[in-house]
Amino acid sequence: MSNRIDKLGMPKWGLSMTEGTVVAWLVEEGAEVAVGDEVAEVETEKINGVVESPVAGILRRRVAAAGDVIPVGGLLGVIADADVPDADIDAFVEEFQATFVPEEAEGEAGPAPETVEVEAGRLRFLRQGEEGEPIVLLHGFGGDLNNWLFTAPALAGEHVVYALDLPGHGGSSKDVGSGDVDFLLGSVEQFLDAQGLRRVHLVGHSMGGLVAASLALAAPERVASLTLVASAGLGEEINGEYIRGFIEAERRRDLKPALELLFADPSLVTRQLVDDVLKYKRIDGVEEALRTIAGNTLGEDRQRVAVADRLGELDVPLLIVWGREDRIFPAAHAERAPEDAQVHLLDGRGHSPHMEAAGDFNRILESFLATAGARAAP
């Protein structure tokens, strides 16, 4: 037993988050919680998520109530052992509320995306973390670096994390040349060169997984480990309805049903998410870039590039994560992994486990990287 009192704070998901609304508590006051237990649901402008307990103990106080809007870092609840007197908890809450100052508005502190010019064009990226082995995160078709909003901060304690916008996406150039997988992996390699990164842990989601795997096969010396999340390239099936629907949608009412295919729980698709994707899709050159990439990298009714059979050639640690409810690529594609790969299939999650089950996903990835890092060390 200890007399330690821990704060359960409002997390920060993504650069623009300044506050969140408590949707519901998932744990009763007085209940025991373990590290990583889901304790509260929180809604932000962009996305809904679950707050996990940072420590083990008893949820002694629910300070925020459902419906309350709490700034990032603000007090949601208090966790402590059973023998800490109530008076101490009261004093902790009182002192916290009296001294807490919400962080300044967006852009004042914290990392901001940067851009770098390479042969493939302008690439935008977000660097987080001060030291440790570098990790590069590659989003999927139509995504951008913000898709890693739950992932990058979790990894940044132990690593230098680069989330990249692939060509044609986010803040990167919209000219995608041939738009084939060689062009895309070439752009990533040029990015590594420009940042002076010799060898990195690669994490790719969906089409980004295909790019990561292809880069690992083309330049194995640059890859310390490979993580594929609901990846393209591991089977033939692809949801062509999604690809076409995403490319063609010009309006909210057309885009929303397409985006809902990305998650097992469609309520994760908020108005803000739809608006953000529409803002991206309206930019000159995006539609053409998406069509080119869909045609030459992904394929619309049948996947164009297969890497499953060659993954066995790789001499690097391989992690594969999939949601069993994936409606873009069937989770069965995970079975194509070579025998020595670590495979995790998540129940009740769809095509975006890194967003839908961020806590579980981060734990799987962190423990994989811990062993992969040890193996990769010279």
Cβ contact 77:61 at 8 Å: yes
Is residue 12 part of the contact set for other proteins (CB under 8 A)? no
Cβ contact 167:175 at 8 Å: yes
Cβ contact 207:141 at 8 Å: yes
Closest contact distance (angstroms) between CB of 123 and other proteins is 14
Is residue 21 part of the contact set for other proteins (CB under 8 A)? no
How many residues at the interface with other proteins, by CB under 8 A?
Answer: 16
Return d(Cα 53, Cα 38) in angstroms, integer: 6
Q: Which of 96, 111, 122 is nearest to 174 (CA)?
A: 122
Q: Which stretch binds other proteins (CB under 8 A): 3-11, 96-104, 244-252, 329-337?
A: 244-252
Q: Considering only residues 251 through 270, tell me which ones interact with other proteins, judged by CB under 8 A.
A: 251-253
Q: Which of 28, 107, 196, 221 binds other proteins (CB under 8 A)?
A: 107
Task: Using CB atoms within 10 Å of the CB of residue 286, give its burial: 0 to 12 exposed, 13 to 18 middle, 19+ buried.
Answer: middle
Using DSSP, state whether 269 is helix, strand or coil: coil
Q: Which of 12, 62, 174, 205 binds other proteins (CB under 8 A)?
A: 174
Per-position x/- string for 284-303, each x denoting binding to other proteins as judged by CB under 8 A, each - no binding: xx------------------
Is residue 16 part of the contact set for other proteins (CB under 8 A)? yes
Per-position x/- string for 349-368, each x denoting binding to other proteins as judged by CB under 8 A, each - no binding: --------------------
| Other CB atoms within 10 A of residue 83 CB | 9
Of 223 and 258, which CB lies nearer to other proteins in the complex structure? 258
Return d(Cα 263, Cα 367) in angstroms, integer: 24
Return d(Cα 1, Cα 40) in angstroms, integer: 25
Closest contact distance (angstroms) between CB of 282 and other proteins is 4
Of 46 and 201, which CB lies nearer to other proteins in the complex structure? 46
Closest contact distance (angstroms) between CB of 376 and other proteins is 34
Task: Using CB atoms within 10 Å of the CB of residue 347, give its burial: 0 to 12 exposed, 13 to 18 middle, 19+ buried.
Answer: exposed
Residue position matching structure tokens 């698709």: 269
Q: Which of 238, 213, 214 is nearest to 226 (CA)?
A: 213
Q: Which amino acid is at 335?
A: E
Closest contact distance (angstroms) between CB of 248 and other proteins is 13
Is residue 279 part of the contact set for other proteins (CB under 8 A)? yes
Cβ contact 223:324 at 8 Å: no
Of 121 and 132, which CB lies nearer to other proteins in the complex structure? 121
C-alpha dihedral (305, 311, 313, 314), degrees to nearest 10: 120
Per-position x/- string for 34-73, each x denoting binding to other proteins as judged by CB under 8 A, each - no binding: ----------------------------------------
Of 254 and 366, which CB lies nearer to other proteins in the complex structure? 254
Binding site for other proteins (CB under 8 A): 16, 106-107, 170-171, 174, 250-253, 271, 279, 282-285
